[in-house]
Chains A and B, each alone.
Chain A
Amino acid sequence: MDSNQKRFVEDALDLLNELDEGLLQLEANPHASAPLEQVFRTMHTIKGGANMFGFEKIGELAHQLETLYDLVRQGKMQVSDGLISITLHAFDKVRDLFKEKDAAKINNAEALSDHLKSAIEFLKAAESEMVSTGKTSSAASAVNKDELATFFIRVSPTISLTVDGNHPLVFIVLDLEALGTARTFCYKNEKGDVAHWDIFLSTTTSQAEIESYFLFVENECQVNYTKLFACDLFGSDEFKEYLDQFNAVPVDVKALSAFVETLSAKCKETHGSEAEDEVITSSRKKAHHDTYIKVSKRKIDDLLNWISELIILQAQLTNATSGLNSPAINEVTEQLELITNRLRDTSLEIGLVPIETLVTKFKRLVRDLSKTLNKKVNFLSEGAETEMDKDVIELMADPMIHIIRNAIDHGIETPAERKAAGKSEHGTVKLKAFNTSSYVNIIISDDGKGIHQERVLQKAIEKGLVAADASLTEEEVLNLIFHPGLSTASQLSDVSGRGVGMDVVKQKINDLRGHVSIKSTSDKGTSISIKLPLSRSIIEGLLVRVEDTRYVVPLNVIDRIDRIPYTLLNRENQVNKTVVVNEETLSVFSLRQKFHNEAIVPKTADIISVTVHGIRKGIAVDRIEGKMQTVMKPLGEAYHQQDFIAGSTILGDGSLALVLDPSRLFQLSDN
């Protein structure tokens, strides 16, 4: 592949993600024109690029599919499950092909022939149907139109926010607009904050579903829903003209309903033509997009390296000049410190990408899974713009997919069960992401049946993981699901439940120095919270000293710290492997005994209690020096075998400290 082709493949992979996103939106709202236009445009771009860079087969496939969507645009065909499915599957194959390194393999004629064939057949079937039902499928569309309804939604924020602000509410309003044909009026108060939004929305989405969009922001706004009419009012020019006046005057709900009354009779006659009122919507959505450039990872790493050098130099400069009584120099060093810190913050941000890419993947997963399992599931996401280290996002994809799979497979009930339990037939899986200080929080929750705690406990007792008479707190029982080899699904399905899952999820999160916790209420659902450090290279830990070597113990696994006399660890040369701390017997790994000289011993030792793989153990060190946040650097290939050292970090005086990986440290003592 030449470099142009490589660049095309990279761009195309991004486009394919956009396409997936658009197709899923279109499936959810078959009448919305914004996603349809987006799908059509994206396919067209892929087609053009593929033909230009010599991937004719992909171009041909994109062309066939584009033809289908053109028919939809012209109103000659309806968006159907079948259409979305063949499109998704076809482009899945294209995505697989793009992973090949060899251009000839990507352009392999065989690979896409099945998909090409099904696209052509779909077109033929659609055409013959058109012929048999007359020239347009107006009959079919009329049936669907009955589900259409026009809503008037007034969203009044109770907090102060601006239209171009970053508040989730702003995006929710945009999301609503994408549900169908919409017209939004935004009214501001004298301070320039949003007083309220008035949204006219014609959609097939039910009111309950629209309400669910506001779940996360219930406390920050008030929403009033008025169902204006069970039909698409945007079909009427009169209605559109009527709406124009609201640009100047706020909507008067009473006058509005009176107008709708008079219009209602006419509406039924005139629902032929579909209104195109979405130009405003889509153009406004675009305004939120920044411009981007692609930069190779290596350049960013280089930049970060140079900046860490700068930080160290700057610290040395501050040290060296602190004795000088020169205001001029002091001022310069202070300024330099300020700018160096800003530079560090900005450069760390460069490596971050929004988790949006994952969200599209999850939407696909939810769609495919709910179809396989015959469940009705909505997937909602909030905070998709939250940014994380690119590597972390890639490493977290599988664990999160696993959690979502579990939520749908084990959590969400079948529509019949849900109905019987008095819930809406549609289950909801929510992904919420947000930042707190130097962490990214991800909460995946569902409104399914929750985790059957008794069954978990029973299973754990059966497998001998806990004693039969043990009394565990709710939290302890729930945490058992992270134990290796415990699966509560009495019937194994091929989706999840092989008992190798949640423990791996937990392990991966621990490897990233993150934290996971679980909450579950019977019949109400389960929520799993993941807390991850913003960047893989920034670490929060305890700085400790053993002899003259300094180590860092990651803070996320530490439970407590105790100081004990050293003789408890080593009494008359008899090495104790356990100590009693806080009335609990703790198996202890002494860094001094394992790695350092025993000749001169200190009077006391500090025991750091950590929990790894659900088991509490202790690390014995000479002295704890303090808490620190710092940049971790890998040790590289040379120290690959010493994997209990996760990396190293440069301290303020230029010396190095070793960052411990507690779980691997204990593996070392087990062997």
Chain B
Amino acid sequence: MKNQSHAYLTFALGDEKFAINVDHVQEVVEFDQLTKVPNAPSYMLGIINLRGQVLPLLDTKLKLGLPASERTSRSRIMVLDIAGTDDKTIQLGAMVDVAREVVEIADAQIQPAPELDGLQSTAPITGIVNTHGDITMIMDISKVFSVQDIVELNRPIN
């Protein structure tokens, strides 16, 4: 088990580097057009049209309780498959500041995550990789965007 490695997609939120298992990632697309849905929490940005498929778009930073950043030409949408209720998966778009590359990370390289301040959800960081002082945090995407979480937190705000 120790020698096994997995493919991860790395991306940036602000100055921090993160990585998620590619199994959850369907594709990465550029930000195009967004339609806001009224009365939704601020991290639920709205809906996007992905080649005829309508997906909800979420702001990963806001969802994690980090301050929002300006949308730039480098902003990307990760199209993710999230396990939902009754074996169904739902697809959503998660906005990140920069999407970098797919890398192989051996399980042995991953160290347990230290206590982190400022990250709201129940420990979405499952480990860290330290490459000569350059730190990448491994994120459990299903903890950041659990379907139940999204459905329940998303109450009308009035």
A residues neighboring B (CB under 8 Å): 305-306, 308-309, 311-313, 549-550, 591, 594-596, 633-642, 644-645, 648, 650, 654-658, 668, 671
Q: For chain B residues 125-158, which have a beta carbon within 8 Å of chain A? A: 147, 150-151, 154-156, 158
Q: Which residue of A lies closest to B38 (CB)?
A: A595
B36 close to A549 (CB less than 8 A): yes
Q: Which residue of A lies closest to B50 (CB)?
A: A309
Given contacts A648-B35, A656-B48, A657-B35, 10 further A-B contacts (CB under 8 A): A591-B38, A635-B37, A635-B54, A637-B84, A637-B147, A639-B47, A640-B154, A641-B155, A642-B154, A668-B156
Query: Which single member of A308, A596, A639, A668 contacts B52 (CB below 8 Å)?
Result: A308
**Majority secondary structure, A binding face:** mixed
B53 close to A638 (CB less than 8 A): no
Say how far B78's CB is from chain A's closest CB, in angstroms.
15
B49 close to A642 (CB less than 8 A): no
B150 to chain A: which residues have CB within 8 Å? 637-638
A305 to chain B: which residues have CB within 8 Å? 52-53
B32 to chain A: which residues have CB within 8 Å? 654
A595 close to B52 (CB less than 8 A): no
B residues neighboring A (CB under 8 Å): 32-33, 35-40, 44, 47-49, 51-54, 56, 84, 90, 92, 147, 150-151, 154-156, 158
CA distance A594 to B158 in the complex (A): 10
Query: Which single member of A591, A638, A648 contacts B151 (CB below 8 Å)?
Result: A638
A642 close to B158 (CB less than 8 A): no
A309 close to B35 (CB less than 8 A): no
CA distance A635 to B40 in the complex (A): 13
CA distance A312 to B150 in the complex (A): 29
B52 close to A645 (CB less than 8 A): no
A656 close to B151 (CB less than 8 A): no
A655 close to B35 (CB less than 8 A): yes
CA distance A313 to B44 in the complex (A): 27
A658 close to B39 (CB less than 8 A): no
CA distance A671 to B92 in the complex (A): 30
Query: Which single member of B48, B49, B56, B156 contacts A636 (CB below 8 Å)?
Result: B56
Say how far B31's CB is from chain A's closest CB, in angstroms.
13
A309 to chain B: which residues have CB within 8 Å? 51-53
Say how far B120's CB is from chain A's closest CB, in angstroms.
19
A650 to chain B: which residues have CB within 8 Å? 49, 52, 54
CA distance A645 to B155 in the complex (A): 14
A671 to chain B: which residues have CB within 8 Å? 158
30 A-B residue contacts at CB 8 Å?
A311-B52, A312-B52, A594-B38, A633-B53, A635-B54, A636-B54, A637-B84, A637-B151, A638-B56, A638-B90, A638-B150, A638-B151, A638-B154, A639-B37, A639-B40, A640-B151, A641-B39, A641-B40, A641-B156, A642-B38, A642-B39, A642-B156, A645-B38, A650-B49, A650-B54, A654-B49, A656-B48, A656-B49, A657-B35, A671-B158
Q: Which residue of A lies closest to B148 (CB)?
A: A637
A639 close to B38 (CB less than 8 A): no
B53 to chain A: which residues have CB within 8 Å? 305, 309, 633
Report if A645-B151 is in contact (Cβ < 8 Å); known contacts: A312-B52, A638-B44, A656-B48: no
Report if A648-B52 is in contact (Cβ < 8 Å); known contacts: A642-B38, A668-B156: no
Q: Which residue of A lies closest to B52 (CB)?
A: A309
Say how far B37's CB is from chain A's closest CB, in angstroms.
5
Report if A656-B35 is in contact (Cβ < 8 Å); known contacts: A312-B51, A635-B47: yes
B54 to chain A: which residues have CB within 8 Å? 633-636, 648, 650, 656
Say how far B149's CB is from chain A's closest CB, in angstroms.
10
Say how far A10's CB is from chain B's closest CB, in angstroms.
21
B56 to chain A: which residues have CB within 8 Å? 635-636, 638-639
B90 to chain A: which residues have CB within 8 Å? 636-638
Say how far B90's CB is from chain A's closest CB, in angstroms.
6
Report if A655-B33 is in contact (Cβ < 8 Å); known contacts: A638-B90, A638-B154, A648-B54: yes
Q: Which residue of A lies closest to B48 (CB)?
A: A656
B51 close to A549 (CB less than 8 A): no
B151 to chain A: which residues have CB within 8 Å? 637-638, 640-641
B35 close to A595 (CB less than 8 A): no
B147 to chain A: which residues have CB within 8 Å? 637-638
Q: Which residue of B lies closest to A641 (CB)?
A: B154
CA distance A313 to B49 in the complex (A): 12
Most buried by B among A312, A634, A637: A637
A637 to chain B: which residues have CB within 8 Å? 84, 90, 147, 150-151
B37 close to A655 (CB less than 8 A): no
Most buried by B among A305, A657, A658: A658
Q: Which residue of B lies closest to A546 (CB)?
A: B38
Query: Which single member of B84, B154, B158 contacts A639 (CB below 8 Å)?
Result: B154
A658 close to B52 (CB less than 8 A): no
Q: Which residue of A lies closest to B39 (CB)?
A: A642
Say how far A450's CB is from chain B's closest CB, in angstroms.
45
Say how far A193's CB is from chain B's closest CB, in angstroms.
46
Q: Which residue of B lies closest to A650 (CB)?
A: B49
CA distance A644 to B158 in the complex (A): 14
